[in-house]
Structure 1
Amino acid sequence: MGKKQHFGQEPPAKIRLPTRWRRALLAAGLLAVTTLAAPAWHAGAADDSAAPAAAGGPTAYVVNNGANNVSVIDTASNEITATVEVGNFPRKVAISGKRAYVTNLFADNVSVIDTESNKVTATVPVGKGPVGVAVDPDGKRAYVTNYDANSVSVIDTTVDAAAGQAVATVPVGEHPVGVVVTPDGKRAYVTNYDANSISVIDTASNKVTATIPVGKGPGGLAVAPDGGRLYVANGPSNDVWVIDTGDHSVVAKVDVGKSPHGIAVAPDGKRAYVTDFGVNQLSVLDLASNEVVAKVDVGKSPYGVAVTPDGKRVYVTNAASNNVSVIDTESNKVTATVPVGTNPVAIAIKP
């Protein structure tokens, strides 16, 4: 299997997978989880329906990469209202307006979901091994990290009313994973897992204008609502780095739990929430002091995280528990657990 492990995972020694699959799973941080769940990799959804999203509250889209589908949750009731089939081994999801974009790592494409009908309306080819995805504030561009190609595909979402198409490819560092776009839409930040760096892309020119050294194995990242700070989870380093987006200096290094991956910032910019994959916890960071102020026990192998638009709840995907923990942000306690598909690894919430 080699000496390099990703996101602190220790793979089973007796099980061998095809080379590209092992590399991709290592990058995803899910080798141990998905190996245990191997029989369900290509399983169909428990519910093939694609009903319209409920109108009760914001809607959460959960990527189940062991089932090749997306669970749609009405956050008012915490019930699944639809299950949407997507491509092979989906990894991340981003939402903009009436569309949800889902990367399919083994299919080298992006599924575009109409969030009103909850049906896939198009599939957009991108580079090899797409993992991360982010959409700019005006919804005109989507940025996709291609892990196997060491590049970012830029999708023009205005070309096709139902889909969009890749119009540019930007070379970045080795094995890009996460991506986020600043609130003003001027820059995209990309974590390069095996380069221990972040590529800064100028969105006007689609060129890398800077490279920021960070900790070991950077994965998830998030930007403050005002765009002034970037927060990066470094899996093997077990910490979060805080970066000033003005001069790209490192403002702070915050120790969190083992193998952090997902990170989300509250709408008011006061808190950040980090999934600690290796210890089944969520770290709560106070962003004024850059300190961990709470630890919340969640399910097994927490991975993705998202905050509701009102900032009152946090949703965490637990990859090895096949469910989502719902956390009240005032009490920092789990108030509900929602069963979803196999190996839920990512989540995004539509207002």
Structure 2
Amino acid sequence: MTSSCAVAPEAPEPQSAPMTVAVPEAEYDTGSPTGDAPADQEPGETSLTEAHPAELPRASSTSLEPVGTISEPAMSPKSVVANDHGLAIANNMMYHNSVTVYDTRTGDLIQELPGSVSPSSFGLEGYPDTVQGAPVEATWTADGEYAYVSQYRLAGLGAAAYDDCRNGSAVAPSAVFRYSVQEEGWDQFIEVGRVPKAQALTPDESRLLVTNWCDFDLSVIETATGVEERRVPLSSQPRGIAVMPDNRTAYVAAMYANELWKVDLDTGSAEVIHRGAELPRHLVLSPESDVLYVTFSRSDLLLAFDTSTDEVIHTADTGREARTMDISADGTALYVVNYFEDTVSKFDAGTLEEIDRRSTGHRPIGVTYDASTGSVWVANYSGSITVFDDTALR
């Protein structure tokens, strides 16, 4: 059976031709009850991190409508993540070593930023003057001002990094870079483990959690200092993370061990709560955090768990090789990309009934729902982003 991950990081394929994207605009609150611009904002100007959407229809009642494809600048997006305030960040791995930031209302490129930093500028010693990362995944702060971006490896440090972790401890620990919208650049360098992938902030944003793929563990970072407070041992190739409202309980997928773990962040204790389906990859919680959704890549499954009991309550078949997943802002719809099928599926979050399936670009690997527009963005590893409007009633 085909594995969900190549031995080496999957290389992107030739990109498609560029196409202008114009996401249908919602009405935006300019920050004043009268509609006047705030005192520090020019008339007619809308702050990307302060925009608020008009009321959107229930996501489970709408259908995905293709809007367009973004393929410039050159990219190989492993993920795309919206901040729900008008921006989306795409992370282009070592193949382009960049992040690209877009206006989700127009599809326009806001910034292309190399994945390189000077650790000494953040007070860190023992590194070259400049280190080059490989942006993998991102998570935004709730205000949309900062994005934490994991770096698959730091070029030139230690042995080569691969998804099968063949070089073991000879691979150097890597880092998370923090992107600042205001500064339009990296403003923090956070040391983590080997081959970091998924990340999540606790709801109070006091901790950043990072899965270290080749260390088989979880880094718990204090966001106020950027310092790791503990490591939690897990199992083979941990990936997806979801954090409960208590800021203490996290669920983590150990992908190659076929295990779902429950972690106490305060004590560092952890237990396996589910085994069975193969290659658990991505986790999301319902808005009330009463349901945990998990994709299983090799089993082509989507499972829903009751978080009060950790028991499975719903199961659905996905397309071939389900990868990343996101949930609509109202919690009524789930979006799952099917990597080997070049499609994105939409499910009713309450029943797991599949209500839509649409073609994407080649090798869809990341997906995000943008609450500011009701649009869905799909990262195609072959070199493009497919954008859908999800506001039209079925």
Q: CA deviation at 1:292?
A: 1.9
Once the two structures are superposed, what CA deviation does each residue of 1:311-350 show, in whole Å capped at 9, x if it has no partner?
Answer: 1111110011111111112222111111111111111111
**2:383 matched residue in structure 1:** none
Contact preservation (8 Å) 1:8, 1:258: no
**1:237 matched residue in structure 2:** 257
**1:84 matched residue in structure 2:** 70
Match of 1:168, SS?
A: strand
Once the two structures are superposed, what CA deviation does each residue of 1:269-312 show, in whole Å capped at 9, x if it has no partner?
Answer: 01111111101111211111112222210100000111112211
Alpha-carbon distance between aligned partners in 2 of 1:252 and 1:223, rounded to the nearest angstrom: 16
1:324 to 332, 336, 344: 344
Q: CA deviation at 1:100?
A: 0.5
**1:18 matched residue in structure 2:** none
Once the two structures are superposed, what CA deviation does each residue of 1:176-215 show, in whole Å capped at 9, x if it has no partner?
Answer: 1111112212111110001001111111111111111112
**1:68 matched residue in structure 2:** none
Contact preservation (8 Å) 1:135, 1:143: yes
Corresponding letter in the other structure for 2:15: A
Corresponding letter in the other structure for 1:244: D
Contact preservation (8 Å) 2:102, 2:109: yes
Alpha-carbon distance between aligned partners in 1 of 2:216 and 2:327, rounded to the nearest angstrom: 27
Corresponding position: 1:52 with 2:23: yes
Computing the radius of gyration over CA atoms, which structure comes out larger, 1 or 2?
2
**2:9 matched residue in structure 1:** 24
Once the two structures are superposed, what CA deviation does each residue of 1:89-141 show, in whole Å capped at 9, x if it has no partner?
Answer: 21112221111111001211111011121111101222422111111122232
2:81 to 79, 94, 100: 94
Contact preservation (8 Å) 1:91, 1:345: yes
Contact preservation (8 Å) 1:133, 1:178: yes
**2:180 matched residue in structure 1:** 156
* Runs of 4+ with >6 A deviation: none
Q: CA deviation at 1:144?
A: 0.8
Contact preservation (8 Å) 1:130, 1:147: yes
**2:335 matched residue in structure 1:** 315
Contact preservation (8 Å) 1:53, 1:118: no
**2:356 matched residue in structure 1:** 336
Contact preservation (8 Å) 1:190, 1:199: yes
Higher alpha-carbon deviation: 322-331 or 75-84: 75-84
Q: 1:323 to 1:89 in 2, by over 3 A?
A: same
Corresponding position: 1:175 with 2:195: yes
Corresponding position: 1:257 with 2:277: yes
Corresponding position: 1:199 with 2:219: yes
Alpha-carbon distance between aligned partners in 1 of 2:366 and 2:20, rounded to the nearest angstrom: 21
Q: CA deviation at 1:255?
A: 1.9
Contact preservation (8 Å) 1:305, 1:347: yes
Contact preservation (8 Å) 2:15, 2:71: no
Match of 2:9, SS?
A: helix
Instruction: Write out aligned runs for 1:278-289 (5 A).
Output: 278-289=298-309
Alpha-carbon distance between aligned partners in 2 of 1:80 and 1:10, rounded to the nearest angstrom: 28
Corresponding position: 1:119 with 2:131: no
Corresponding letter in the other structure for 1:347: V
- Computed over aligned residues only, the root mean square deviation of the Cα atoms, in angstroms, reads 2.2
What is the TM-score when the length of structure 2 is the normalising length?
0.71
Corresponding letter in the other structure for 1:103: N
Corresponding letter in the other structure for 2:88: A
Q: CA deviation at 1:228?
A: 3.5
Could you list the runs of 5+ residues in structure 2 that have no partner in the other structure? Answer: 28-57, 116-131, 155-173, 372-394
Match of 2:225, SS?
A: coil
Q: 1:209 to 1:142 in 2, by over 3 A?
A: same
Contact preservation (8 Å) 2:63, 2:356: no
Match of 1:320, SS?
A: coil
Once the two structures are superposed, what CA deviation does each residue of 1:229-252 show, in whole Å capped at 9, x if it has no partner?
Answer: 211111111111111233332255
2:15 to 19, 36, 43: 43
Contact preservation (8 Å) 2:21, 2:106: yes
Alpha-carbon distance between aligned partners in 2 of 1:255 and 1:320, rounded to the nearest angstrom: 24
Once the two structures are superposed, what CA deviation does each residue of 1:54-106 show, in whole Å capped at 9, x if it has no partner?
Answer: 549xxxxxxxxxxxxxxxxx963311223222543211122211111110012
Corresponding letter in the other structure for 2:176: V
Higher relative contact order (Cα pairs below 8 Å, separated by 6+ residues): 2
Contact preservation (8 Å) 2:135, 2:150: yes
**1:4 matched residue in structure 2:** none
Match of 1:107, SS?
A: helix
Contact preservation (8 Å) 1:314, 1:327: yes
Identity over aligned pairs, percent? 25
Q: Which has the higher strand share?
A: 1
Contact preservation (8 Å) 1:54, 1:81: no
Match of 1:219, SS?
A: strand
Match of 1:78, SS?
A: strand
Corresponding letter in the other structure for 2:78: R
Q: 1:114 to 1:225 in 2, by over 3 A?
A: farther
Contact preservation (8 Å) 1:8, 1:236: no
Aligned residues: 300
Contact preservation (8 Å) 2:20, 2:107: no
Contact preservation (8 Å) 1:252, 1:290: no
**1:133 matched residue in structure 2:** 138
